[in-house]
Amino acid sequence: MLIDCHTHTYLCKHAQRVAPIAYLHVAKKLGFTHFVFCDHNPFKSDNYDFIHRMSLAELDTFNTLYEQEKLVNQDLPKRLKYMEVDWQPMNHNASLNFVQDHLQSFDCAMCSIHFNEQYEMDLMEKQTVEEFLDFYEKEFLTAVNSNQFQIMCHIDFFKEYNKKVKALIQTEEGFKMINDRLITNIDSQLKLKTKCSLKLIHVPENTMLYSRASQI
């Protein structure tokens, strides 16, 4: 079984503006058995990181797209409906309420922490690397312990936004420090709670951190 569980539709604003059926044909060609419709969730009042997500009014459009594609071309990969819910470090209830209010019929609720809003970026700028890692670990595990999510996405995405961390991981020593200080801690906590673990891949060409989504 081969599943693509993290492909966004054009409603996310940062995905290609093509019909989802195009992705389904590519998935079939690549040997996938399942394909997931998965966008970033909207928030009430559309007041959080709007450039990366649909509006709340478009949630019905997302559901309609899924229902339409589910009914056609049965020889294509099986379609599933997920939502990637952004964890708001300063407003947990906004994320949790969205899951409870809108995702009961979905196959999976995924969670990610991006730090896209300016006030979140400002917080990172003020923190030392150690302070940020402490904060991130606390937020990640709080999301896990909410028991509202089945998958935690790209645990290391902060590398794209935290300039101090991004500079640090350009060295092998920095990479090891991030791995030992944060990833290993979270991994051990998840094993205690859920008997799962994270897998890290170090890509020497660009010395970036990558991790698979971790089932919780």
**pLDDT tens across 121-175, in order?**
898 889 998 899 899 989 988 998 898 998 888 777 787 778 888 888 888 888 8
Higher pLDDT, 207 or 8: 8
Give the DSSP letter string of 71-138: HS-TTSPEEEEEEEEEP-TT-HHHHHHHHHHH-TTSSEEEEE----SHHHHHHHHHS-HHHHHHHHHH
Higher pLDDT, 103 or 37: 103
pLDDT at residue 72 greater than cutoff 80: no
Q: What is the mean pLDDT of residues 174-193?
A: 75
Question: Which residues contact residue 57 at a Cβ distance below 8 angstroms, ignoring those fewer than 6 apart?
Answer: none
pTM for the full model? Answer: 0.84
| Paired tokens of 78 | 């099986």
Q: What pLDDT score does 211 carry?
A: 37
pLDDT tens digits for 95-115?
999 999 999 999 999 999 988
Q: What pLDDT score does 18 carry?
A: 82
* DSSP-based helix, strand, coil % in the chain, nearest 5: 50, 20, 35
- What band does 213 get if pLDDT is binned at 50, 70 and 90? very low
In order of start, what are the domains of the chain with their CATH numbers?
1-112 (3.20.20.140), 115-216 (no CATH)
Q: What pLDDT score does 207 carry?
A: 35
pLDDT at residue 180 greater than cutoff 90: no
> How far is residue 26's CA from residue 149's CA, in Å, rounded to a whole number?
28
pLDDT tens digits for 16-36?
888 888 888 888 898 988 888
Q: What pLDDT score does 135 carry?
A: 92
Residues of the chain with pLDDT > 70, as a percent, come to 88
Q: What is the mean pLDDT of residues 209-213?
A: 37
Q: What pLDDT score does 177 carry?
A: 84
| Helix (H/G/I), strand (E/B), else coil: 37 | strand
Q: Closest Cα to residue 98, out of 115, 110, 116? A: 110
Q: What pLDDT score does 27 carry?
A: 87
Q: What pLDDT score does 192 carry?
A: 64
